Amino acid sequence: MPRRTVYEAKVEFVQILDEDGGFDEKLGKDLISDEQVVALYEHMVTCRELDEIAFKLQRSGRMGTFPQNKGQEAAAIGTAHALIKGTDWLVPCYRENAALFMHGLPMHYILLHWMGDERGNEIPPGVNITPLCIPIGTHMLHAAGIAYASKLRNEGRVVATFFGDGATSEGDFHEAMNFASVFQAPIVFLCQNNQWAISVPRESQTASETFAQKAIAYGMPGTQVDGNDLFGVYKVVKEAVDRARDGGGPSLIEAVTYRLGDHTTADDARRYRDQAELDAWLAKDPLIRLRKYLETNDLWDDQMQTELDEKAKVIVREVVKTAEGIESPATEDLFNYTFANLPDGIITQRDTLRTASIGQNPAQIGLRTQRQNA
């Protein structure tokens, strides 16, 4: 036979809770308990409050550049809920605050990071999270390495790593995917397709109809899910996590969502994004969607929302107070936390706040004279 089909594939799209609050009972039955949904919604609202206040901190000059998470909370929370806290690893980029808090990162650490305080990157012991990664895509290699190490040690851990649609144009993405697949590392690649890589639209950076289909080239499952649907995200991630933990290797999940804010506070999305597009996605806000579900099932009402909004404000005020009230770092910290054992030359620099290199070390002053006379 001179011509035959050697491979065929398909990519599924999963949605359980639509933007109008409609719920697929078949896919979503007993997926997340009522108590858990309420708790996750409360966490989502609190994280949105922190997001809004962080934006105001930057605008008032109290914090540096900040990337809002607004609109992408369901993808982060659904993923975090599918992992085992204290066992599995989260390897984030910089728009997954809600997931990091669920897995033990104190909320004020995020503010410290964007305030330029390195103590915001000092992850507490026992919290299986890597620091925020600003360079696009580089952290996926770290995630693949952590997952492979876990496999070699037979630890039973799974790694989930987040990245945006723009990161799939980076070589690091492809290298991490290939490595993870070849060595069957227990990792879930979670692409948050928020439609824009800063000002570059999705259709201008890939000819693929979906990002999920990029998994096919690496021999792993690829699934597309409504990224604003908490239930849908949890279901597909949980299936991928269980598969990885059972030795089935990596998966790629494309969470279709939207960045409701600017790329960062240094960006103005009005210059490249139509208001009509933004308005359409505002109606798909994961917070609005989940509240509709709760109200439809008599799990939520206006009074509860009022109480939660006030509680969230109190929590966030305390978080800001903690971040801004932290003791200023000492100059010596620049040296003390860079080396495990300080070399003598570095100790001299730390104690004198001057370099001790050739030409500045008094014991070597003769060398300078010799060069001048030569």
Cβ proximity of 218 and 178 under 8 Å: yes
Sign for the pseudo-dihedral over CA of 263, 265, 268, 274: positive
Instruction: Choose, from 48, 202, 243, 259, the residue flagged as catalytic.
Output: 259
- In the annotation, is 272 catalytic? yes
Q: How far apart are CA 68 and CA 264, in angstroms?
A: 6
Amino acid making up residue 363: A
CA distance 107 to 238: 25
Pure H helices in 183-300? 230-245, 275-282, 286-296
The edge-to-edge listing of strands for the beta sheet with 89-91 is 12-14, 222-226, 251-256, 187-193, 159-164, 89-91
Q: Which of 59, 270, 272, 317 is catalytic?
A: 272
Counts of helices then strands in the chain (DSSP H, E)? 14, 8
Q: Which sign, positive or negative, has the C-alpha torsion 193, 197, 203, 206?
A: negative
95, 139, 243, 263: the active-site residue: 263
The answer to whether residue 139 is catalytic is: no
Active site residue 259: yes
Give the residue numbers annotated as catalytic, written as ranges.
Answer: 259, 263, 272
